[in-house]
Structure 1
Amino acid sequence: MVPRPWAFPARFDPEPTRTPGELALGLHRAVGELRRAARSQALRAGEGAVLLCELLPAAIEVVDDPVGTVAAAVARSIDALAPVIAAAPTSPAQRDQWLGRLWAALTGDAGGHLRRLAEHWGALCVTPTRAQAWAERLLPEAREGVATAASVACLASQVAAGQHEEALELLAGRTIAVWPERQFGVRALAARGELAAAIAYAEASNPLGHRHAQDIARVCEAVLALGGQREAAYRRFAFVAHTRQNCRQSFEALRRAYPERAASELLGDLIAASPGQEGRWFATACSLRFFALAAEIAGRSPCDPRTLVRAGLQRLEVDPGFAGEVALAAIRWLCGGHGVEISGDDVYAAHDLARDAALRMGTQGALRGAVAAICDQPHPAAQWVHGLLARELEG
């Protein structure tokens, strides 16, 4: 049976009118197509992944990417595609041909869009013998430049070939700590069983303190886990390593990485790792049906008042106690000046929810005093809320 042609090449014709978001979406779909194919056609998927890497530079070059949307998508895609290429059951000759094509794409990419590929070079070599050959080939150029494709790929190949001393010696001659290179020092030390030294080396590899923080956390987490220190990997690095675009995605990423831990434990630890920002996890707690925890979050940490009211309305009939708690919390945070573009309608919506919940629980008599106590503070927003609810409070 002749396989269907790849759909992805048509998405990567150089097109100046394409937006960064469109290109990133096309890349996401291409990676999905290749990974699905890899389940039953590993060799063909590997060939397709090499082709995609060859197509990317020209497609990216004509797209304006001011905030790095495409750059981030390319890095994620290469991280996903490198295992597909490495796992393909090629002959030695075909593996060498693929590496030649990938190296030509990498070194011919003037914009540096494929630079992440160099970090995977050791894995792409597949065998220690081939990795050693590439390390020797690239070493002269690696000594001349810092964080170039040649230097990063050389270090990756040295570590893959078991040349740990050689990798550390090359890094020792650097005058600046550059994480794309120094990650291989971490891996070399870990391979020698020096886990504490590897973690210390990693933590000294990010002098600016922010740019590579997540990549460093991921490597340190992997090093500790492979070294039999999974608990330490989780406690020290997992929360940063698995941070995603929103709280729910971060939770799901952590749950995939640590399936042995209960969802309630994972969420509790994520909240504890976000001091001062616990309110961001309210919606995630609700979506996981941890309503008692959600109410606790709403009561002690600023949350978006509209989010609280929406959650309370959804639970009003089945759980008026929860609805009442989050309604009062919404009023509290409104009185504290929290929320974006808040209007009087938001205040009335929170109070109406509190009243409806109290009616269902038979606690109407206590509601007026509770709301009045919340409004009794000097914050200007509290005086505004009190004025809007004056008639209900005087009752």
Structure 2
Amino acid sequence: MAKSKPHKWTFAARFRTNAFGWRGSRLACQRIKEAVSEIRKVVRKDPLLGAEGAVRLMEKLWPALQHVDSSSGALGSAVYKAAEELVDWVTKAPADEKTRAKWLDRLWDAFNDDGVGFLDVLGERWGEVCVSPAVASQWADELLPIVRRTWEESKQGSASYFNGTPACLSCLLAAGRYQELLDFIERAPRVSWSNRKYGVDALVAMGKKGESIKYAKASCGFMDDPFTIDRVCEDILISSGLYEEAYRQYGLRTNRGGTNLATFRNIAKKYPMMEKTKILEDLIETTPGEEGKWFATAKSLGMLPLAMELCYRSPCDPRTLNRAARDFQEKEPKFALGAALASLQWMSQGYGYEITASDVLSAYEYAMKAAETLGRKEQVVVDIKEIIGRDRSSDRFVQDVLGRFIR
């Protein structure tokens, strides 16, 4: 019977040794994305073949990328994201013991040859990659003496480090050797979340969730991020059905997004049982004196009365207010008028980044248009005169721009 033809991976030629130069970060990120996409398509049809491609790509990453300038962080982020997915495919692949053993040997060589930690996630999840508790236990037995020795040397003042430490702890966890793992972590030379997070997982696996939270809170070392630990504690409480306690203790500070609106959506998605108004009000309370920064969030959520209240309680970006006034001219002229007047108020008090005459005129025009719709034109003119009469912006800028219109 003829042997099947080996699969030809397109990425293999692109990730040859020294394929990328010092300034090749952008191209490298693009090639990584293409390689992962190629493997993903194969995984959907043949998980075993796809996992083989994942192993091969991880073997090629460091030799191909070793000379690239990664100081911007873009390359590191691209590799980490790719490695997470690649490890998933290798872990879930329906490989027999012989095939997986070969993969583990190849991946261990790639992990140890890695010069900058591109494959750190592989070491952190080594126990998962082993799949079998028996295989994980064998690896743990091989790695334990090395970790023990380096920890003892560190206690004696030697700068000793073993990059396989996370792999060892991961294997103890995957092998179900929970108490041994906890006892071993206590022998570490210093408190470090990178070690103790495996202890947290061990306690959870033992059904000691309350104890795991106490353990996690005591696991923040000098270089560790407390928010990472808080997120783990939050997840433990949620998994126990204690949503209210998780929300109260951790929800508002551990789900931050790139914008205030993203933060709100993260929390609302994680805590669907909470009223949206309550979530937003709680978030506003976390930023006293900066309530105006939540105006756009309240507006986007359709909470217009609250948005109007917020834009007068503390400074709010005039351009954001102008856009709101423009967008709500037809459907909510009262809200549009309030936003436009608030914009003029904050500009007259010197708020806003590089405010121009165009910004001032836009606010004025939106206010007058909404006032005309509402039949309040004369009163709004009086209100604007009062606002610019208190103008404290540089050189009374707003007053100068609107002077001739008001007169």
- Provide the rounded CA distance (Å) in 2 between the counterparts of 1:4 and 1:247: 47
Q: What is the correspondence of 1:313-332 to structure 2 with a 5 Å cutoff?
A: 313-332=326-345
* Aligned: 1:116 with 2:130: no
Do 1:159 and 1:167's aligned partners in 2 also have CA atoms closer than 8 Å? Answer: yes
* Aligned: 1:85 with 2:90: yes
* Aligned: 1:243 with 2:261: no
How far the C-alpha of 1:107 sits from its partner, in A, is: 0.9
Return the match for 2:321 from 305, 308, 315: 308
RMSD: 3.5
The CA deviation string for residues 114-163 of structure 1, in whole angstroms up to 9 with x for no partner, is 11221112222222222211111111122234674311111111112221
| Matched AA of 2:381 | R
Which residue is 1:48 aligned to? 53
Could you say what secondary structure the match of 1:173 adopts? coil
Distance 1:56 1:389, change over 3 A: same
Which residue is 1:182 aligned to? 196
TM superposition score normalised by structure 2? 0.81
- Provide the rounded CA distance (Å) in 2 between the counterparts of 1:29 and 1:262: 42
How far the C-alpha of 1:106 sits from its partner, in A, is: 1.0
Return the match for 2:352 from 332, 339, 343: 339
Do 1:190 and 1:198's aligned partners in 2 also have CA atoms closer than 8 Å? Answer: yes
Return the match for 2:142 from 134, 137, 145: 137
Q: What is the correspondence of 1:66-215 to structure 2 with a 5 Å cutoff?
A: 66-145=71-150, 148-208=162-222, 212-215=225-228
Q: Which runs of 5+ in 1 are unaligned?
A: none
How far the C-alpha of 1:342 sits from its partner, in A, is: 2.1
Do 1:122 and 1:156's aligned partners in 2 also have CA atoms closer than 8 Å? Answer: yes
How far the C-alpha of 1:32 sits from its partner, in A, is: 4.8
- Provide the rounded CA distance (Å) in 1 between the counterparts of 2:259 and 2:313: 21
Do 2:347 and 2:393's aligned partners in 1 also have CA atoms closer than 8 Å? Answer: no
The CA deviation string for residues 250-271 of structure 1, in whole angstroms up to 9 with x for no partner, is 5555565556667666656555
| Matched AA of 2:134 | T
* Aligned: 1:361 with 2:366: no
- Provide the rounded CA distance (Å) in 1 between the counterparts of 2:236 and 2:403: 60
The CA deviation string for residues 296-354 of structure 1, in whole angstroms up to 9 with x for no partner, is 44343443322332233223222222322222232233234333222222222222222
Which residue is 1:351 aligned to? 364
Distance 1:322 1:164, change over 3 A: same
| 151-160 vs 139-148, greater mean Cα deviation | 139-148
Do 1:143 and 1:151's aligned partners in 2 also have CA atoms closer than 8 Å? Answer: no
| 276-285 vs 47-56, greater mean Cα deviation | 276-285
Return the match for 1:384 from 397, 401, 405: 397
Distance 1:302 1:179, change over 3 A: farther
- Provide the rounded CA distance (Å) in 2 between the counterparts of 1:75 and 1:10: 21
The CA deviation string for residues 45-98 of structure 1, in whole angstroms up to 9 with x for no partner, is 322322232222234322222242222333333333332221111112222222
Do 1:187 and 1:223's aligned partners in 2 also have CA atoms closer than 8 Å? Answer: no
- Provide the rounded CA distance (Å) in 1 between the counterparts of 2:112 and 2:96: 24
Distance 1:311 1:382, change over 3 A: farther
Which protein is bigger by CA-based radius of gyration? 2
Q: Across the two proteins, how many residue pairs are aligned to each other?
A: 393
Could you say what secondary structure the match of 2:103 adopts? helix
| Matched AA of 1:91 | D
